Structure 1
Amino acid sequence: MTTRAAEPAPELVEGTEPRPEPTPAAASAVASGASTRSATEAASPATAVARRPDVSTPLPFTRTVWNGSAPRHVTAEAAPSKLRPTWPQALSGLFAAAGLAVLAGAAIAIVRAFLSLPFMQDFLATYPGEYHLPAGAPVGLPAWVGWQHFFNVFLMTLIIRSGLRVRTEKRPTAFWTPRGNPKGKISLTLWFHQALDLLWILNGVIFIVLLFVTGQWMRLVPTSWEVFPNALSAALQYVSFDWPTENGWVNYNSLQQLAYFTVVFLAAPVAIATGFRMSGLWPKKAEGLSKAYPIELARAVHFPTMLFFVAFIVVHVALVLLTGMLRNLNHMFAAQDAVTWTGFWVFLLSLAVIAGGWIAARPLVLAPIAKLFGQVSGR
């Protein structure tokens, strides 16, 4: 008779308790739950079929493609151009231009009728538009005036261009940092603008010195109170298109003299003073001076001053071309009082130089020059 060995008892892991054997009642409960789930799962498909919605009637919809064919190419709607004016805007512009033309014509007719009155004829005879210069006033324009004029136009053009770029530039592509002052980093465009300002100031100082040394100041600075009625007379003659007869080689009319005096001795100093306040050259530690002359005031005046220069340039060039172009260009660019084409060709050459400077005013050209005075970086 073989004796069966007893099975070893299961080992208990330390920290655990032995799992109790299921009782007959628990086993019957588990079996009952399983049978209930089976019955539920068996009934669920029937319930799902019974709850399925009726799809025999199609839902209402709007047809976009007919006859069962779809478009081969979908044409995207073109985005409206922001630069192209709409028809109402174009018509408004045309009506505005027509209105200005009508007003200009009416002004010319009214001023002509006004100047034809007897007392205005006496006024024009007394004040023809200019007065005699003091004795000893120089006659003619020396060559240095022409050179100064060209440099001034060249610098002013680039100053206006760079100034507008500074106002509209959102993310500068390059920066300039002065040596020994890492906190003084500015955009390369602003550096170019300020460098042009310094050259323009230097050119202006030389011009003022030569103006008073040679006596040419008497052509720009009014020396008689008669300048005001003569300026009014010249203005009325310009508006009437019966322009005053003059010889700029000898004397400017009074309206010109006041305009040139305003540009040289009033507008230019205002531009310099406001630009200096906004530049990095302004002393940062002068708190009292900064409060007396706030930067907001400088900004509010600087831009309108630039607009004044632009308006002056437009009117000045227009009158030069319309009141004896060849002779005026000879005065300004050839230093001679003659009706020849010399001044005209020099004028075209100067325009080519200005255009070249305009095109060259970009970081690729400016960066090597700026590196001579500081550090140029991309950020």
Structure 2
Amino acid sequence: MAQRDIQFRLLAKDRSGARRGAFTTHHGTVQTPAFMPVGTAGYVHSTPARDVAETGAEVLLANTYHLSLGDRLASVRYMGGLHRFMGWERTILTDSGGFQVFSLPDRVIDDEGVTFSYEEDGERVMLSPEKSMEIQRDLGADIVMAFDECVSHTADRKYVGKSVGLTTAWASRCRDVKLQDHQFLFGIVQGGVFDDLRRKSAKEITSIPFDGFAIGGVSVGEGFDLMRRVVGVTAPCLPEDLPRYLMGVGLPEDILEAVHLGMDMFDCVIPTRYARQGTLFTRTGKLRIKNKNFRKDRYPLDTKCSCYTCRTFSRMVLRYLFFSGDPLAETLATIHNITFYQDMMSDIRRAIEENRFESFKREWLEIYKKNR
């Protein structure tokens, strides 16, 4: 029989407000706070699902817009769903495609949805809340995101106010679409950088019986201070007994701040994109492996990391692989960066359990920023 409840459990709450929890889907339990690596088009660039699983990741994110291009959706259907297509046996979340659609230059928005041209072939299509739900239903992810309007942080108040109403109307329409029995649906709070509109959106979206709630529109160039203010205003408006997801935020310092403010889930392309460009995360800050200082460096990327890359290869060898242009360099770098993020989240969870998150955050950042 299909599971009807995401079974979110709040296991600990630090005096700072940071939360330690867990939720369960058809494909396993996810410990929170959690970071979700991004497999935009149904794969994590250059890295097999087996290697991603070995980093400790319990949930991956895939993108509705990109997976609807060309024959991709038909291919996923033919394979029997996204889990088989990706070779991933754990939890998958799909976003609604809203963020990607609203970044396109020729979109037309009305009450029914968004009309735009596909990037790959220029075909003019309309994506409605119902269509987004149908695509995500066919993909078969465990967690599905409602279709919303993501606005720029520079959008004026009048526009954002109208957008909040549109997002609420679309959210209700998303909730009315029948999904697969194992799927959970999260609503998304918008409201730009306006505190009262954030509270208004949170009140409206949380009145709809979703299985979890997300804060959207905070990874659109607004910067750390505005992100912190928006999350600080919005997070207390979200239910205590369901997962809270901050969409698209992924720098370590941003995640630590958002955990402090009570958020549970995060995703971003930063660790995988940076890896492919040769920027590696370590506990003492970012390391640019192509730097000539690493030509004869026989140390691992991070002496406290136990990932396959750090156990097996030195900095000088990884640098050599990057300059050789071998795809193995991107794979090894990606394994390391994802492991770094999963280790960070594990350390965060432990600190919350021990009621010492504030001191952990301070000490972690002091070391991380030491060599900037």
- Interval of TM-score (by shorter of Structure 1 and Structure 2): under 0.3
Structure 1 or 2: larger helix share? Answer: 1
Instruction: Give the TM-score taking structure 1 as reference length.
Output: 0.21
Instruction: Give the TM-score taking structure 2 as reference length.
Output: 0.21
Higher normalized contact order (CA 8 Å, seq sep 6+, divided by chain length): 1
Structure 1 or 2: larger strand share? Answer: 2
